[in-house]
Amino acid sequence: VAVLTPYSRQAQSLKQELPQKAGAVVRTTDGFQGREADVCILSTVRANIEGDIGFVEDARRLNVAWTRPKLGLIIIGSRSTLTANSALWKRALAACKEVEIQLPVVQ
């Protein structure tokens, strides 16, 4: 399992919080480029009313995150923040919904 995040500070925090025995690899999205894992968990981090997602909107970073898992990708983030001002995330999450592979946990 790989836990990916766009931000190095978030990666550092996750490394401290996740138990070593869990066997999860924690990396930034950029730092995981060229690698694969059976399952990837993508923590998008951003949540705000303005819909400001910074470089989480970068198509190259999204491509890396979406193409690293062999079996499955779990995205953790605020749907309203990710889709407020981002056509890229709107399309990506709409595609997930279309093939019924998303499960909202918290609205």
Residue-wise pLDDT tens digits, 33-69? 999 999 999 999 888 888 888 888 899 988 999 899 9
CB 5 within 8 A of CB 54: no
CATH architecture of 2-98: 3-Layer(aba) Sandwich (3.40)
Average pLDDT over residues 77-94: 90
In this predicted structure, the answer to whether residue 11 has a pLDDT above a threshold of 80 is yes
- Amino acid present at 98: E
Q: Tell which wins on pLDDT, 42 or 105.
A: 42
Q: Delimit the domains of the chain by residue range.
A: 2-98
Q: What's the pTM? A: 0.85
For residues 99 and 105, what is the distance between their CA atoms, to the nearest angstrom?
17
**How far is residue 44 CA from its own chain's centroid?**
5
pLDDT at 102: 57
Mean pLDDT score of the chain: 87
Beta bridge partners of 28: 5
Beta bridge partners of 58: none
pLDDT at 88: 93
- Amino acid present at 7: Y
pLDDT at 55: 85
